[in-house]
């Protein structure tokens, strides 16, 4: 069986995102739940998380009267990492201090977006590739993803600790 991902989102800092002028949200290991009244900013926290994980940026997210929004998140990685994370760390070589990896994103009021990983500028797609292995967000319709064949294969690969892609190619070749 594959090694378990041992990461923890420690903190997200948010500046000038929607209704949030300035906020820092801390997280603990394990399950974290966001609750609150309508308009409390739950969606903005999830939007910030989506941005630092390479999600689509939009100038409409910038707080009215501000020039730029900035979001940053710090992940604590342990020595036991999933093969996908090890591969990404080897390929992109982000700066890390004490196994802490910092993701950040900024969006200007004119729509220009910048992404950083470990202090270095990267395409947002790099944040996405890391984010897909570091964190899962479950919402009201998340269970619908389980009906997709590609997601089922990803889960099976993660559980077995290996990619079955070569076996699938051989199978398709003969059948």
> pLDDT (tens digit, 9 = 90+) per residue, 21-66?
999 999 887 788 888 888 878 889 989 999 998 989 999 999 999 9
Q: Where in the chain do CATH 3.40.50.300 domains reside?
A: 7-137
Contact assessment for residue 136 and residue 125, using Cβ atoms and an 8 Å cutoff: no
Q: Who contacts 70 (Cβ-Cβ below 8 Å, separation ≥6)?
A: 13, 14, 15, 16, 104, 105, 106
Distance of CA 127 to CAs 52, 161, 173, Å? Answer: 7, 23, 34
63-67, 97-101, 124-128: segment of lowest average pLDDT: 97-101
Q: Does this model's pTM top 0.75?
A: no
Distance set, CA 47 to CA 19, 42, 130 (Å): 12, 9, 17
Alpha-carbon gap, residue 24 to 106, rounded angstroms: 16
CATH number of 7-137: 3.40.50.300
């Amino acid at each position: 069986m594959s090694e378990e991902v041992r990461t923890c989102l420690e903190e997200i800092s948010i500046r000038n995102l929607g209704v949030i002028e300035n906020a820092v949200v801390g997280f603990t290991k394990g399950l974290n739940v966001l609750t609150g009244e309508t308009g409390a900013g739950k969606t903005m926290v999830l939007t910030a998380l989506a941005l630092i994980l390479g999600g689509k940026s939009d100038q409409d997210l910038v707080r009215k009267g501000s020039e730029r929004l900035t979001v940053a998140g710090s992940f604590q990685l342990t020595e036991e990492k999933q093969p996908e994370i090890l591969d990404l760390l080897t390929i992109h070589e982000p700066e890390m201090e004490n196994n802490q990896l910092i993701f950040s994103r900024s969006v200007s009021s004119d729509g220009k977006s910048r992404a950083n990983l470990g202090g270095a500028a990267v395409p947002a797609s790099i944040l996405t590739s890391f984010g897909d292995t570091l964190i899962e967000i479950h919402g009201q319709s998340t269970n619908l993803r389980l009906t997709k064949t590609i997601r089922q294969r990803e889960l099976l690969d993660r559980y077995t600790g290996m990619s079955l892609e070569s076996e699938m190619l051989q199978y398709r070749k003969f059948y």
